[in-house]
Chains A and B, each alone.
Chain A
Amino acid sequence: MPMVELKQIKKRLGGEDVLNGVDLSVGEGDVVVILGPSGSGKTTLLRTINFLNPADSGTVTVGGLTVDSAKHHHKEVLALRRKTGMVFQNYGLFKNKTVLRNITEGLTVVRKIKKEEAEKRAYELLEKVNLADKAGAYPAELSGGQQQRVGICRALALSPEVILFDEPTSALDPELVGEVLKTMKAVALTGITMIVVTHEISFAREVADKVVYMEGGVIVEEGTPREVIDHPKDERTLRFLRSILEDSMDYMI
């Protein structure tokens, strides 16, 4: 049984069809990378999974819990969100809370876990990303790469069944992208299910079990990285990959 299953997800935004009936199935422990040009609906799709932007119609299943986008009760949504974690493009850290509190907040407030236990868990995770010494710092005192690693720890702390990554490296300075990708690779190795929206082709090639190419609100092509990235069948996939892989070699000064 797949860990995440989307069926006929449709969404209109501002009079335009952003998602035109997307079906996606993600197996347990799989890393799925969603590629696509901007405006293709990939971030919107990701946000329909945990109902941050619910779809107009279609069903979302996470870890055996199925919720209908068209008619959902807020308790169902809450239950669904408690099975998922999310890492945001702009980190989304709670600015009024320290690094430690950012990670423990979900554990103590939502899961009702004791403070000491939550802190122990937070420190374990911070050790793994080499940020234990920043536990008492506020987000504004950290670099973008450090903030994003804290964001990953916050998502991991809740032991979700799937983690959604929404362009986690897009807001970072180029030299900080590496540290975040390295952390994401380490997360992938733990066997947790991941759905990643990104432009990092090398990450997709190296880590993904499945690559999905989206354009115009539909999935154009999906398969292994070898199939989609190295031997794309669809003209649109080919054009997109060319544009991002060969961009830097198009001209000389």
Chain B
Amino acid sequence: MNLNYAFMLEDIPVVLSALPRTLGLTFCSLFFAIVTAVLFGICILKNIPVLKQFLIGLNTVIKGIPLMVQLLLCYYAIPYLLRAADGFLGYVYNPKNPSYFAFAVVAFAINYGAYMTDVVVSSYRAVERGQLDAAYSVGMTAFQGMFRIVIPQAVVISIPNLSNYFMWLLKATSLASVVNVFEILATARMSTANNYAILEGYIVAALIYWAVCVIFEKGLNCLNKKMSRYRNDIVVS
């Protein structure tokens, strides 16, 4: 195959320069997705009437719409909403400089938040209930029992699942290239605009994604092993 290897080498640092943007997008989205999932999860676990049913319904809606479609919806709908909010509480809408990055974060946070809600709920339920009784029996308050005994274990139980979602999210951020966010994929495409070495550009992007994913996967495995040290009932690979 006749690839322009020289260009590929040259292109690596160019594409790599977009790595911080991809990671920023990933971590911002992850943060807000977790916040969403925890809030949704609390409402579902606390069995708050109406709100619980509403959130369960909303989750099926979010999961039933492709992420790409949600990104486009946010891309077009959020500026519209912001314009409507102009003047509200002193907010000034600036149509010249929309933050496509933030719009993408909203879409990813909603989408992944819906999936992670299930992780939050199931991890919490997986903690053996008797331990909360035991916490009460030694005189702990409900708050102490929750934060010292139940939640730390629920967090550990959720790590493998959350790691998976993190890896998917990291790669899914490439979809944001379609909605004007200059992350790795968009940068790779743009870097080939002058010499038409399009395939080379995509290969560079693919290699960078792969390398980053391998590093994170290793790190998350280590974290999981370290955190679930106390559970010898499960096999950590």
Residues of A within 8 A of B (CB): 50, 52, 78, 81-82, 84-86, 88, 90-97, 105-106, 109-111, 138-141, 151, 154-155, 158, 164
A90 to B140, CA, bound (A): 19
Are B149 and A78 in touch, CB under 8 angstroms? no
Are A138 and B230 in touch, CB under 8 angstroms? yes
Are A78 and B130 in touch, CB under 8 angstroms? no
Tell me the chain B residues, 123-161 only, with Cβ under 8 Å from chain A: 128, 130-131, 133-141, 144, 148-149, 152-153, 156
Tell me the chain B residues, 76-134 only, with Cβ under 8 Å from chain A: 128, 130-131, 133-134
**Closest chain A CB from B135 CB (angstroms):** 7
In this complex, the interface size class of chain B, counting residues with CB under 8 Å from chain A, is: 20 to 34
**Closest chain A CB from B125 CB (angstroms):** 15
Given A81-B137, A86-B137 in contact, is the A140-B144 Cβ separation under 8 Å?
Answer: no
Given A52-B136, A88-B133, A94-B135 in contact, is the A109-B144 Cβ separation under 8 Å?
Answer: yes
List of B residues within 8 angstroms of A92 by Cβ: 130-131, 133-134, 137
Would you give 20 A-B contacts (Cβ < 8 Å), ordered by A?
A: A84-B137, A86-B133, A88-B130, A88-B137, A91-B130, A93-B131, A93-B134, A94-B131, A95-B128, A95-B153, A96-B149, A96-B153, A105-B148, A106-B140, A109-B148, A139-B230, A140-B232, A141-B232, A154-B138, A158-B138
In chain B, what residue has the closest Cβ to A111? B139
List of A residues within 8 angstroms of B137 by Cβ: 50, 52, 81, 84-86, 88, 92, 155, 164
**Closest chain B CB from A159 CB (angstroms):** 12
**Closest chain A CB from B52 CB (angstroms):** 22
Are B136 and A81 in touch, CB under 8 angstroms? yes
The answer to whether B10 has its CB under 8 Å from any CB of chain A is no
Indicate which residue in A95, A106, A154 contacts B231 across the interface (CB closer than 8 Å): A95
In chain A, what residue has the closest Cβ to B149? A94
* CB 8 Å contact bits of B204-237 with A (1 = contact, 0 = none): 0000000000000000000000000111110000
**Closest chain A CB from B174 CB (angstroms):** 37
A19 to B144, CA, bound (A): 31
Are A96 and B156 in touch, CB under 8 angstroms? yes
The 7 closest A-B pairs by CB, nearest first: A106-B138, A92-B134, A86-B137, A138-B230, A110-B139, A82-B139, A92-B130
Indicate which residue in A78, A95, A111 contacts B131 across the interface (CB closer than 8 Å): A95
Are B139 and A78 in touch, CB under 8 angstroms? yes
A113 to B44, CA, bound (A): 37
List of B residues within 8 angstroms of A109 by Cβ: 140, 144, 148
List of A residues within 8 angstroms of B131 by Cβ: 92-95
A78 to B229, CA, bound (A): 32
Given A78-B141, A96-B153 in contact, is the A88-B134 Cβ separation under 8 Å?
Answer: yes
* CB 8 Å contact bits of B165-199 with A (1 = contact, 0 = none): 00000000000000000000000000000000000
Max chain A Cβ within 10 angstroms of own Cβ: one of B136, B137, B140, B233:
B137
List of B residues within 8 angstroms of A111 by Cβ: 139
Are B139 and A158 in touch, CB under 8 angstroms? yes
A172 to B123, CA, bound (A): 27
List of B residues within 8 angstroms of A96 by Cβ: 149, 152-153, 156, 230
Indicate which residue in A52, A84, A138 contacts B133 across the interface (CB closer than 8 Å): A52
Are A90 and B148 in touch, CB under 8 angstroms? no
Given A88-B134, A94-B134 in contact, is the A110-B232 Cβ separation under 8 Å?
Answer: no
Are B230 and A95 in touch, CB under 8 angstroms? yes
List of B residues within 8 angstroms of A82 by Cβ: 139
Given A82-B139, A110-B139, 16 other A-B residues pairs in contact with their CB atoms under 8 A: A52-B133, A78-B139, A86-B133, A88-B134, A92-B131, A92-B133, A95-B153, A96-B149, A96-B152, A105-B138, A106-B139, A111-B139, A138-B229, A151-B134, A155-B138, A158-B139
